Structure 1
């Protein structure tokens, strides 16, 4: 890990650093991305210094980020739809993980063509389910991948696996919460988990959870204070959010939950793809 002096950062950070903030948590579990998650974290922490990414950190982050086989094509799709050359442009990264108005510029045809190219041969007879989710309004937001593409929604109807599937869905989505207290490397947050009543995915009662923001004082994050809104992925805090960003994140999450529920995607895996 880099020196603790790297912990201080100022917003806005670069697109590659912002991507690392969100992508590192699942990468640290070995679910996706490069095998060397320590280097990914180190480049992200180095690049977060003072809000300016060094040339070395930028090169490292860009190389490692392209190894996220699930997220990278979505970034390319968003960037192309916006007329941008860089899939790691901050506006693109924010659109994918949190959501913003730029997602409205990604046409259903573009999303459908991307799904066709990526998944038709992999999913076979299950592909029409993916097409239905696009026709129902699915856009290249991380919640679309979590709820409409990954197989976990289909496992909710399996009584033996439902509890585990719900936990994975809740941790894998980008969720939001309000900071209650900060204790060293950890943050106590009030958040709203997913719920499953046997037929419908929704939101449960508010809970208090503890998430990580740094390792031995080293972080890709800004400092947090009580009352801040924060995004979370798995057991990590990812970024400080504005009220507007919270609304976007909530709205896109609800949008894709509605597609899942209305289309009964939890009656069978959408696609047996790895996370």
Structure 2
């Protein structure tokens, strides 16, 4: 089992390398993830991710664990049973404390969505807290959709892999008829490593992997894959319902985790 701080580094590095979140230590974060070294320096970097760290602290406090406990980190990025320890009312209070003065209290108000069934999962933050879902309706949808699809934690099947990249079949996010949904499978070329370091080690053809900002972050077990699918389906349905559109419902039913 991957140590919690290293698991955090795997998922946090891709947006950090783009300058989107966290401190300016992306090269160090990649080195930690690639070398497998976990120490107080890595923990200190993780605490400076002002978007993710409060969610980790919330899950940890509700579960009697530490924020960088492996199960806590997994709950936030992928999903697991610890999310059930944070009821909607507690998440709403957390969001009120953090964002109430800055959020748009419209149809996609994250505090309202928390009370309707949100969970402290990264994809909730992407779909409900970030402004991009609301921007889909405000004008051209291409750029908001690209950001939502890149920033969410998604999954795919590795078709081919080489030293620095892999061909992965996955289902991209689509927006049509006023709703978000997962489209038909496509193949994308994704990063596996850079500068001699990899986020996910021993990636092989046929593996089911998690994806964040065009990077393969980890090889998923069957259970982890189901948890990520379930969290994504639930959150898409919640957001679509809040937008006053038909919910996604069983968008992933009948698939084989493409």
For normalisation by structure 2, the TM-score amounts to 0.90
Aligned pairs for 1:25-40 within 5 A: 25-40=14-29
Map of 1:7 onto structure 2: none
Q: Which runs of 5+ in 2 are unaligned?
A: 246-258
Decide whether the 8 Å contact of 1:120 with 1:127 is kept in 2: no
Cα deviations by residue, 1:186-222 (Å, 9 ceiling, x for unpaired): 1110000011114010011100011111114322322
Map of 1:220 onto structure 2: 199
Decide whether the 8 Å contact of 2:191 with 2:216 is kept in 1: yes
Q: 1:100 aligns with which of 80, 84, 99?
A: 80
Asked if 1:79 is matched to 2:79, the reply is no
Map of 1:177 onto structure 2: 156
Q: 2:121 aligns with which of 129, 141, 150?
A: 141
1:124 shift after superposition: 6.9
Decide whether the 8 Å contact of 2:173 with 2:180 is kept in 1: yes
Asked if 1:258 is matched to 2:237, the reply is yes
Decide whether the 8 Å contact of 1:40 with 1:61 is kept in 2: yes
Aligned pairs for 1:159-198 within 5 A: 159-160=139-140, 162-198=141-177
- Counterpart CA distance in 2 for 1:123 and 1:152 is 12
1:128 shift after superposition: 8.7
Relative to structure 1, is the Cα distance of residues 194 and 117 closer, same or farther in structure 2, using a 3 angstrom cutoff?
same
Decide whether the 8 Å contact of 1:44 with 1:61 is kept in 2: no
Aligned length: 245
Q: CA RMSD in A?
A: 1.7
Asked if 1:211 is matched to 2:213, the reply is no
Map of 2:220 onto structure 1: 241
- Counterpart CA distance in 2 for 1:217 and 1:181 is 19
Decide whether the 8 Å contact of 2:108 with 2:239 is kept in 1: no
Q: Aligned with 1:208: secondary structure?
A: strand
Q: Name the structure with the higher helix share.
A: 1
Q: Which runs of 5+ in 1 are unaligned?
A: 1-11, 267-275
Decide whether the 8 Å contact of 2:108 with 2:128 is kept in 1: no
Relative to structure 1, is the Cα distance of residues 148 and 265 closer, same or farther in structure 2, using a 3 angstrom cutoff?
farther
Q: Aligned with 1:177: secondary structure?
A: strand
- Counterpart CA distance in 2 for 1:69 and 1:261 is 27
Decide whether the 8 Å contact of 1:119 with 1:127 is kept in 2: no
- Counterpart CA distance in 1 for 2:206 and 2:105 is 48
